[in-house]
Structures are given as structure tokens and as C-alpha cells.
Structure 1
């Protein structure tokens, strides 16, 4: 029964919007990961039907020992749609089996009502947009070269062509030099190249932050990835740095930290020091971090841009007051992350990204960041379009920014037309102290300066905001 309890925890985290299906399942112990993933995904596919069965039978009201709705859904799934509940006899299993006849009866009634001839017809289908997103594979330059990778795939019968036209076609990406695109149906999780860390399965848009940050491949480089797990962006940074210098990878969650370390080891990232700590609680003047020049920020977000073969099964962000409050808390947390990054004395470049489509987490956070004391006193501005994927066509929302130029400095990705997940990226750069400072004296800056009069107030506000954001994420 422990297996079902662990799977229920995954569903609980998904309900709480604590990450994507792939990200949360990655935290499950490796020995149980594949089995847990299969059960969770199949249960999500049938979740609307299983919920209807559960409510119609009043199982939770009559069986008080079954206190978790998600646990009940998992058990009912295996009873009705698999080979039965795979657990020893116990009060919870027996509680479900007492209602076996009624559960089957309600399931059959729903099947007839919906005109389904097979169980599969009751399942939620794949998001149609996923069929137009290639299977992206980033070549890990810590292990080998893109040329070697292309030669290897060629020896397997793959040909350089439009990856959407054939299962044996693949292409070099136009924007990310290390990225290859394959047909959406191609699988690599059992491939030796993936298991050896030679290839990283990473969506194209997720490669943008490290590419835009562009840390130098130099022994003197000092870089921070502020929210590193599961480690795809960290390994990308490491490869761009040529495994040179020092890359600090922060992750405060203990389980995700373990996942991060395993991933970095597999990807042969020798210049990374994983730090099991909260980036926000790190002192910018700490001697260990005071020389950091590049920071990657990919903080918790709503995940509203994620469109893949699994996450469409999750309920979308509610467009009610509760949903808007959660977005506001996330935006507050995101702004706090940027402001903290700007306090590092040697930082020159800060890449900020989300997998969100909401302006409140993207353009509005950036606009507010530019008006903070940290940005104004530190001479931070947005890098021009020429330095931020200049040939990418989809830019920021003009109506959300102070100027058209600022909007052009931002990058947006849309799952509806860009063959990627929804994503947002920008780059803050520190201008030379003698340059023209932005002429901004806003009401928000005055309020910030007033609020920041004492260290005690700053600490209190930060602690509360972090707590709220962590509850929301």
C-alpha cells in the first residue's frame, strides 16, 4: 500500500501546483519512478470519470478510513481499469472492495451515458498542440560534440530533414547551437545516450535562459543558478562554461536537491557546486558569492505555458479571485528574486525566465523590477534585442511595458505557433556607472525607499512573502 500512498503524494503536489508532472515524478525514488509515473498518468487520464464514480458511490463518506481523495482515485483506477489493487489486504483495500459491485456499476453507467464502446474512449486525449512540438534533444558538450552526435544519429538511420515529416528525420535548431529536434513520437528515456548523460531531454524554450545569459568559458567565471533542480538549465550553463570556473546551483528542497546532484553527476558537470539552501537567504556580500557576475533566475511560476504530452491533464489555473491571488503571490516572489539578485556586488548579467504566459508574472514583474532601488542604484537595464535572441520573432507585450524598445528586449514563446512550450525570457544587464541612468522616479520607487528604511522591516516583509509564495507554489 506504500506505493499508492507515494503516488497519492504526487497527485497532491500536482493539485497544489507545485510543479509539472515530469518535475514532481523526478523526485520519486528511482526504483519506483517508472511504476509511479505510469499509475499517476493513467489515473489523470481518467480522472473526470473516476471522480464521477467516486462521488456517485459516496465511498469517502461511507469509508472513513480512506481520508485521501487522491488515494481513493488511484485505488479505484486499478480496480476498474487495471489488474486490480496491487497491495496486501488491509482496511483501506478492503474498504474499496466492499463497494466493488457499485463501483463497477457506476463505471458502466457512465460508459453507456457517454456512448463509449471501450474504456480508452473515456480517457482524456493528448493536447493536439503537443503533436506540433518536436522532441528536443540538447547535446551535452561536457561529453561530446554536436558533430559527433549528428554522426551517431546518422549511423542509426536518421536523416537531416524536417522532424515533423518523418519518425527518422531530425534537424539542427536555428537558435540554440547544441539543440537537435526529432519527431514528437521518438523516445529517448531508455536510450544509452540519455542514460550516459550525452543528451539532455529539454524543451527548446527552456534552453533560452542559459543561452541568453551566456556565461564566459573561463576559469575565473563565477555563476549562480538560483533555482537549479532538476538540473537541465544548470547542466546547460556548465556546458556553455566549458566546465570551467565555478557554478553554484541552489536548491532548497531536500528531495529535489538529491535529484539535482544525480543529474549533474550524470551530465559530468565538474565545475558545479550544488548548494542545499534558499537563494533568497544567501548574503550577496558573502565572500563565497561576492564575485558572482552571472545569475540565472527561473523561479516558481504558474506553469501556465507548459503544453506537452502529460501536463494538459492537469486542471488549468482558475480565473477566479483565488487564482488571481495565487498569481499575485507568485509575482511578488519573482520580483523579490530579481531584487535580491541585483544586490550581488559583482553581478553584470541576470537572466529571468518563467514557463508562464501571464503578463503578471512576465512583463509586469520586469517593469516593476526596473523601477526598484536595486535596479536604479545598480544601473540595471534590459539588454537590447540584439543581445537577446535577435532573430526570434515573438517579443514582449508592448502594452505592458514602458516603451516599445523594452518590449522588444523581451522574448515570448507560444505553444500555438512556435513549436515550444509557452515561455518568457529577459536579460538584465548592469550599465557602466557613467552611462545615462533611466529617468524613473515613480510612486513605486518612493514607496519602496520608504518601506526599506530599516533592516528589520525588510527582513519581515521578505520572510512573509517567501512564506506566502512557497504556500502558493
Structure 2
């Protein structure tokens, strides 16, 4: 079933059209451990890029003109910035991080969010980063070293195994494996591909239950995906609420209210200059 039939009467057609037709700009995150956004803008301009501050996040820079790959500059290799979508940055900021906290990143590779958490903690506390794919976990090691992140513990384990560690976390980020429908601008085959939603939702529910079990009382869990499917988004959040979490108002003013849960946030390329994305902020 194509994406229009799949979500007829659920998601406005204009949002689906915008998702398919509008390609969000390349976006990077200034590494505040090493420089500010204004300095990064100046450095990129001198190299012939056309950068612009992203309106939705104070570290985000959109690149409208690329004389060469932004992943091939000395500044990139020196860890001055990370290639990362602005909605992904917002998900990390929704954690409301404070120095010295213990934070869990349940699905860490390739490390954009992990390094962002480390950065916002100012290299205090600790970030425990899980990924079950040892080859992808190498990118977490590389990016942490490149970005100067010294408080990250990377583990080649399934995120559900965190329940066996006997730890309690102040903050938990679950950027869940999903159907990735928010990336159809670069993966057009998703428009007609059969997707096994039930299998994905089962995995997402298992992950969110594990995250809840290790979250301290009063702690924050942020759930995010890069998909449109309400079952993978609002449906999982409703399950988390039934498990005892409270959905709270987002810190960001960007994005649109979710479907049936207004305090969740949905992002679309033509509205927000991001990939399609979903974020929910929950408290224990």
C-alpha cells in the first residue's frame, strides 16, 4: 500500500506531499565544546559554503551551497561540527540535560546524538551508549574521539540488556528503530515498499519498557523516530503512559502537535526544514 492510501484521513495530504517533494537542507551541529555557531558560520563561508543558522536549534547550521562535501573539511576532521538533522538535535535538547547526570542512549550509532549529549553535559557525568551492531558502534568510538567527548561508555549490547546492569539513569534517550518514512526524500522506495509495522512496534515497545525500568523517579525519557506511522509514534507513547510515565510539554516550540497527543511533536521538511520526525518528552 502506498503512503497516501496508508495514511488517508490520518495525516493531511499536504504533509505527505511535502515529505515526498521537499528535500531538507544539509544540517550540521556546531560543537560547543570547541566553538560557537557564529565562528563556524564564518569558517564555512570562507571555504565557499553558503551556511545559515537554523531557526529551530541554537547549534544548528543549514548549508544551502556545498562546493564539496561538508564531511571533507579540516574543521569536520577536527571535530568542530557533526552532520546531524535539526530535529535530531531537538530530541537531545528535550532531555533537559544538567551537568553530572547519568544518561542512557539506547540506540547510539553512528553517534550524532551520543556526542550531542556528551557536549551538553560539558564532559561531566556519563553517557552510556548501547548499540547491538559492533560495526556501527565503531562510528560511535570514532565520532566521540573526533568531537572530544570524554564521558561516553560505549557498549556492544542490545539496549534491552541495560535492565541487567543494576543502574538507574537520570535521563534516557530512545531514538527507536523505525520504518524511516520521514526520510522518503532520500529513500523514495519507501513510498511503495511493504513495511512490517507489527514487528517494528513490538521492538519499540520492548525498548521503551526497558528504558522505563532503568529511569530514576523524576527522570526524563525522550522517545523519537524518523517515521510518520502513528502506531510507531503516538501509539508507543500511549503505551509508555500506561506503564506509568507522564507526557509533558515539550521544551521546543518547533514542530506541529502530534495526532491525538498535542504535547508530542511532529516535524515535516516543508514546514520545519528537517526530515520527517517525531518527538515525545515523558517523565517518571
Do the structures match in fold with TM over 0.5?
yes
Deviation at 1:337, TM superposition (A): 1.1
Matches within 5 A, 1:259-298: 259-283=139-163, 286-287=165-166, 289-290=167-168, 292-298=169-175
Q: Deviations over 1:307-333 (max 9, x none)?
A: 44x423x343535xxx3xx11111121
Which of 369, 383, 386 aligns to 2:248? It is 383
Aligned equivalents of 1:188 and 1:264: distance in 2? 18
- The equivalent of 1:202 in structure 2 is 84
**1 CA distance for matches of 2:119 and 2:192?**
35
Report if aligned partners of 2:255, 2:272 keep a CA contact under 8 Å in 1. Answer: no
The CA distance in 1 between the partners of 2:178 and 2:104, in whole Å, is 19
Q: What SS does structure 2 have at the residue aligned with 1:189?
A: helix
The answer to whether residue 56 in structure 2 is matched with residue 175 in structure 1 is yes
The TM-score with structure 1 as length reference comes to 0.53
3-state secondary structure, aligned to 2:182: coil
For residues 150 and 198 of structure 2, the distance between their equivalents in structure 1, rounded to whole angstroms, comes to 38
**CA distances 1:161-217 after superposition (whole Å, capped 9, x unpaired):** xxxxxxx5432222211111120645312111112221111111121210111211x
Question: 8 Å contact 1:388–1:410 — kept in the other structure?
Answer: no
Q: Identify the range of structure 1 (142-151 vs 176-185) with the bigger mean alpha-carbon deviation.
A: 142-151
Measure the CA separation in 2 of the matches of 1:345 and 1:210.
16
1:419 to 2:273 alignment: yes
Counterpart-to-counterpart distance in 1, 2:254 and 2:91 = 14
| Match in the other structure for 1:341 | 211
Distance in structure 1 (CA, Å) of the matches to 2:44 and 2:134: 37
Please say if residues 51 and 65 of structure 2, whose CA atoms lie closer than 8 Å, have aligned partners that are also in contact. Answer: no
Per the alignment, residue 31 of structure 2 pairs with 140
Change (3 A) 1:184 1:353: farther
Q: Is the 8 A contact 1:295 1:350 kept in 2?
A: yes
- How far apart are residue 354 of structure 1 and its match? 0.4
> 1: distance between equivalents of 2:42 and 2:51?
12
Rg (Cα) greater in structure: 1
- Structure 1 segments unaligned to the other structure (5+ residues): 1-126, 159-167, 399-406, 431-473
Q: Which residue of 1 aligns with 2:223?
A: 352
TM-score (norm: length of structure 2): 0.85
Query: Helix, strand or coil: the match of 2:271?
Result: coil
SS of aligned partner of 1:183: strand
* Partner SS state of residue 282, structure 1: helix
Q: Check whether the contact 1:226–1:295 (CA below 8 A) recurs between aligned residues.
A: yes
Provide the rounded CA distance (Å) in 1 between the counterparts of 2:105 and 2:247. Answer: 19
CA distance in 2: counterparts of 1:335 and 1:192, whole angstroms: 41
Identify the residue that residue 190 of structure 1 maps to in structure 2.
72
Classify 1:366/1:245 alpha carbon distance in 2 versus 1 (closer, same or farther; 3 Å): same
d(CA) in 2 for partners of 1:315 and 1:382?
Answer: 30
How big is the shift at 1:336? 1.5
Task: After superposition, give the CA deviation of every residue in 1:36-69 in whole Å (9 maximum; x if it has no partner).
Answer: xxxxxxxxxxxxxxxxxxxxxxxxxxxxxxxxxx
Task: Write 1 or 2 for the structure with the bigger share of helix.
Answer: 1
Matches within 5 A, 1:68-467: 128-130=21-23, 133-154=24-45, 156=46, 169-183=50-64, 185=66, 187-216=69-98, 218=99, 220-283=100-163, 286-287=165-166, 289-290=167-168, 292-308=169-185, 310-312=186-188, 314-316=189-191, 318=193, 323=195, 326-344=196-214, 346=216, 348-372=219-243, 375=244, 380-384=245-249, 387-389=250-252, 391-398=253-260, 407-430=261-284
- Aligned residue pairs, count: 263
**Judging changes above 3 Å, is the alpha-carbon distance between structure 1 residues 317 and 276 closer, same or farther for their aligned structure 2 residues?**
farther
The question of whether the paired residues in 2 share the 8 Å contact of 1:394 and 1:413 is answered with yes
What 5-or-longer segments of structure 2 have no aligned partner? 1-19
Decide whether the 8 Å contact of 1:225 with 1:296 is kept in 2.
yes
SS at match of 1:356: coil
Instruction: Give how far 1:233 is off.
Output: 0.6
Q: Which has the higher strand share?
A: 2
Greater length-normalized contact order (CA 8 Å, ≥ 6 residues apart):
2
RMSD, aligned CA = 2.0
Rate the CA distance shift 1:318–1:293 in 2: closer, same or farther, 3 A. same
Going from structure 1 to structure 2, the CA distance change for 1:272 and 1:305 (only over 3 Å counts) comes to same
- Structure 1 Cα separation of the partners of residues 123 and 37 of structure 2: 16
